[in-house]
Amino acid sequence: MKFVIDMMGGDHGVETTIGAVKEFLKLHDDVYFYCVGNVECLSPLEGLDRVTIVPSIEVLKMDVDPMEAMHKKDSSLNIAMETYLKENCDCLVSAGSTGALVSEGVFKIKRMAGIKRPCLVSPFPTVIKGKNFVCADLGANTENTSENLLQFAKITSIFYRIAYNCENPKVYLLNNGTEEEKGNNLMKETYQLLKNDPSINFKGNMEAREPLNGECDVLITDGFTGNIFLKSTEGACKVMSNLIKRSFKTNFMTKIGYLFAKKGFKDMSETMDYKSTGGAMLLGVNGLLIKAHGSSDVRTFVSSLKIGYRLSKNDIINKIKENL
Amino acid sequence: MKFVIDMMGGDHGVETTIGAVKEFLKLHDDVYFYCVGNVECLSPLEGLDRVTIVPSIEVLKMDVDPMEAMHKKDSSLNIAMETYLKENCDCLVSAGSTGALVSEGVFKIKRMAGIKRPCLVSPFPTVIKGKNFVCADLGANTENTSENLLQFAKITSIFYRIAYNCENPKVYLLNNGTEEEKGNNLMKETYQLLKNDPSINFKGNMEAREPLNGECDVLITDGFTGNIFLKSTEGACKVMSNLIKRSFKTNFMTKIGYLFAKKGFKDMSETMDYKSTGGAMLLGVNGLLIKAHGSSDVRTFVSSLKIGYRLSKNDIINKIKENL
C-alpha cells in the first residue's frame, strides 16, 4: 500500500508528521511512504526502509487562498498530488489548508463521473460505544444547493455502507427543528429531494443536540453549517473536559477524588475523543484524500493514517464508483 | 412589578409553571403575577396573594405554525399578549413555541421604531466564572440579510452594555474561519458592514469552538446558524456530563471516586449550566418578552423569571430605545 504524505502541512508541520510516519511504519509492514517536504526538515527519515523523500520547496500557509495555492507548483501539497498520480498511490494525507486540498483535489485528482462537488466527510463519536456517525459536508464548500446536498447524501450513504458495514444507513438532515416544514429555504428544498429519492434511507430532520446520541448514521448539511456544528461540538467537549480537570485540582480532597475517578474520566475522554476519530475524507474525487486536523499532534495524525489504511484496504474509491 | 405568564406553554406546561410562580413569589415581594391558562389546571394558584388567574382556552402546540397561532385568539399565548398590553405589564414569559412568540410579539407588541426584525438573544456561560456572552440571533428568523445582522449587532451591543454593565462590548461574527474573507456570502457581506460601522466594537470573525472561552461579549449570527450553534453546544455539554456520570458508576472504586470528586464535578456542572442562564429574550420589540426553554423544569423557568426581573428593574426596554 502506497501512502503519500504532505509532510509540511498543519500547524505543527514536520514535528507531527515525522513522528506519525515512524510510528505507522512500526504498526504495518505492508505500507510504503512517499514523504513530500523540505529535504533538510525530513533528514530524520533518511535511510529508513519503506520511505522515499520527495523534495518540495514552498509551504502553503493554513489560510492560503485556494486559487493562489494552485499556482504554487513547488508546494508540498502540489508535489504530493503529483506524486499520488505518478506513483499510483492509494492514499494522500495532509494536515494543511482545507481549501487548498479541496481545490487541488478537484483540479488534479478530478471528480468522479457525475459528481458536481465533492464534500468533506468525517466520523464523529457517539455515546454508544464503538458507534460512529458521519457528517457531510464539513466545509469543502461554503455555499451549496439542495442538489449538492442530495448528492452528498447519496455518496455518503454508499461510503457509510462500505466503511462501516451497515446495510441501510439512516440519513438525517441537520435542521433547526424536526418537523418537515422547518428550516431555511435550502433545508426545506433539500428535505423534499431527500424524501423523494428511493435510494436514500431518509429519516427526517435532526436537531443539533441529537446526533451524538447515536441514532443517526449519516448527517447531511451544507459546508458552512457543518463547520459550525463540528466546531461547536468540539469546543464544548474540550471546555467540559478542561473544566473537570481544573475542578479536580481545587484542593487536597478533590485531588484524591481524581485518583479514584481517573479511570471513569479516561473512559469519558475516550468515548468523545475527536482525536482518535480524526481525519476528514474528501468524498467525490477519484482518489483517497484525507484531511487531517490542522492542529494534529502525532496521535491525531496517526489516526488519520489509520483511516486511510482501513479505507484503502477496503478499496473504497472503486467500490463507491461501482455503486454510484 | 407586573409579570404575565403563559402558564400552558412548554413541554411540561403547568407542571413547571405553577411551581416556578410559587417559588418566585417567595423570592420577591414586589412582584405581581397574571397567570394565563386553563382555569381548572391553575386551581393550585387560587386565592394566592399577588396572583390573578386569567382564563384562556386553547393551548398552542410546540410545533404550531406561527400564522395559525395568530388566529387562535383564545390561546394562552394570545391572551397573555393582550394582558401584557392591557395591564401595562413589565414582562411576559412563555416556554411555548418560539415561532408563535416571535410572530405574536411582532404583531401585537410591535417592533421598536427603525427595527426591521427582532432577534432572539440568550446568555451563554463561559469558562471564566461569572462571565457570560450573548448570542443573537438564536432562531427568531430562518433567513437573514446582512442588514438584519448589522442591526442585531447594534441592538445586542446596547443590550449587553446595559444588562452586563460593560462599557464597550466586543462583537464577533460567528464564522467558519477567522480571516476577513472567510464565510458564505451572507457572512462576507456582514463582515464588511460590521467593520465599517463606528458604533460597533467589531473584533472580527470567531470560529464556533471559541465563544465558550470567554473572549467574546456579543456573538452575531443568523437565526438558522445560531440555532445550530446553541443546540450543538447544549448537546455536547449534556453528553459529556452524562458520560462522566455513567463512568463513575462503573465499579466500587469509581463510585468511591465520585464521592471525593463530587464537589469538583458540581463546580463544572454549574459553570456550564444552561438551565441557570436559561431564557432567551426577543430583542427589538416594544416589550420584554422572554422565551423560556421548551423543556424547562421549575428551576429553569425560575431562571427565566429572574432574567425578566433583573431586566425590568434595569428598565431595559426604555434604555434600549433611548440608545437606538
Check pLDDT > 90 for residue A248.
no
- Chain A's closest residue to B144, CA to CA, is A184
Whether B87 has its CB under 8 Å from any CB of chain A: the answer is no
Distance (Å, whole) CA A220 – CA A154: 10
Residue B277 confidence class, pLDDT cut points 50, 70, 90: low
Classify the phi-psi angles of B19: left when phi > 0, otherwise alpha if psi is within -120 to 50, otherwise beta.
Answer: alpha
Geometric angle at alpha carbon A243, from B247 and A292, rounded to 5°? 85
What is the per-residue pLDDT across A37-57, written as a single tens digit (0 to 9) for each?
A: 999 999 999 999 999 999 999
> Among A207-221, B84-98, B153-167, B248-262, which is the least confidently predicted range?
B248-262
Instruction: Return the pLDDT at B72.
Output: 92
What integer best gives the mean pLDDT of chain A?
Answer: 92
| CA-based radius of gyration for chain A | 20
What integer best gives the mean pLDDT of chain B?
Answer: 92
Check pLDDT > 70 for residue A278.
no
Q: Which residues contact A64 (CB under 8 A, 6 or more apart)?
A: A72, A97, A99, A100
Contact A235 B259 (CB under 8 A): no
Contacts of A268 in chain B (CB under 8 A): 240, 243-244, 246-247
β-strand partners of B281:
B121, B290
Contact B228 A229 (CB under 8 A): yes
- Chain B's closest residue to A178, CA to CA, is B63
Instruction: Return the pLDDT at B278.
Output: 67
Whether A225 has its CB under 8 Å from any CB of chain B: the answer is yes
What is the per-residue pLDDT across A116-138, written as a single tens digit (0 to 9) for each?
A: 999 999 999 898 888 999 999 99
Q: How far is B30 from chain A (nearest CA, A)?
A: 38
Residue A243 confidence class, pLDDT cut points 50, 70, 90: confident
Whether A264 has its CB under 8 Å from any CB of chain B: the answer is yes
**Probe site for chain A from B239, B245, B267, B270 (most A CB atoms < 10 A):** B239
- Chain B's closest residue to A271, CA to CA, is B243
Whether A242 has its CB under 8 Å from any CB of chain B: the answer is yes
What is the per-residue pLDDT across B194-221, written as a single tens digit (0 to 9) for each?
A: 999 999 999 999 999 999 999 999 999 9
Check pLDDT > 80 for residue A249.
no
Instruction: Return the pLDDT at A256.
Output: 73
Side-chain-facing half-sphere of A289: CA atoms under 13 Å: 35
pTM of the model: 0.92
- In A189-218, the residues whose Cβ lies within 8 Å of chain B are 207-213
β-strand partners of B289:
B92
DSSP state string for A225-252? HHHHHHHHHHHHHHHHHHHHHHHHTSSH
A5, B180, A118, B186 alpha-carbon torsion, rounded to 10°:
170
Residue B244 per-residue DSSP state: H
3-state DSSP assignment of residue B169: coil
State how far the alpha carbon of B227 is from the alpha carbons of A58, A207, B223, in Å.
41, 9, 6
Distance (Å, whole) CA A320 – CA A155: 7
Instruction: Return the pLDDT at B242.
Output: 83
3-state DSSP assignment of residue B204: strand
Cell of residue A289, nine digits: 484524500
Would you call the peptide bond into A222 cis, given omega within 30 degrees of 0 as the criterion? no
Residue A5 confidence class, pLDDT cut points 50, 70, 90: very high
Check pLDDT > 80 for residue A238.
yes
Check pLDDT > 70 for residue B273.
no
Amino acid letter for position A164: Y
Instruction: Return the pLDDT at B121.
Output: 95
Check pLDDT > 90 for residue A153.
yes
The 8 Å CB, 24+ separation contacts for B197-201 are B197/B150, B197/B153, B197/B154, B199/B154, B199/B157, B200/B150, B200/B153, B200/B154, B200/B157, B200/B171, B201/B157, B201/B168, B201/B169, B201/B170, B201/B171
Q: Which residue has the higher pLDDT, A254 or A164?
A: A164
Helix residue spans in A12-145 (DSSP H): 14-27, 66-71, 76-86, 98-104
Residue A247 confidence class, pLDDT cut points 50, 70, 90: confident
Check pLDDT > 70 for residue B319.
yes
Highest mean pLDDT, choosing among A59-68, A269-278, B76-85? B76-85
What is the per-residue pLDDT across B21-56, written as a single tens digit (0 to 9) for each?
A: 999 999 999 999 999 999 999 999 999 999 999 999
Q: Average the pLDDT over B73-89 and give the result.
A: 97
Q: How far is B312 from chain A (nearest CA, A)?
A: 30
Contacts of A260 in chain B (CB under 8 A): 253-254, 256-258, 260-261
Instruction: Return the pLDDT at A277.
Output: 65
Check pLDDT > 80 for residue A207.
yes
Contact A224 B224 (CB under 8 A): no
Whether B311 has its CB under 8 Å from any CB of chain A: the answer is no
Q: Which residue has the higher pLDDT, A234 or A173?
A: A173
Distance (Å, whole) CA A218 – CA A21: 31
Q: Average the pLDDT over A249-271 and give the result.
A: 72
**Probe site for chain B from A133, A176, A179, A259 (most B CB atoms < 10 A):** A176
Distance (Å, whole) CA A268 – CA B231: 21
Residue B255 confidence class, pLDDT cut points 50, 70, 90: confident
What is the per-residue pLDDT across A77-113, written as a single tens digit (0 to 9) for each?
A: 999 999 999 999 999 999 999 999 999 999 999 999 9
Check pLDDT > 80 for residue B80.
yes
Check pLDDT > 80 for residue B251.
no
Contacts of B143 in chain A (CB under 8 A): 184-185
Contact B272 A177 (CB under 8 A): no
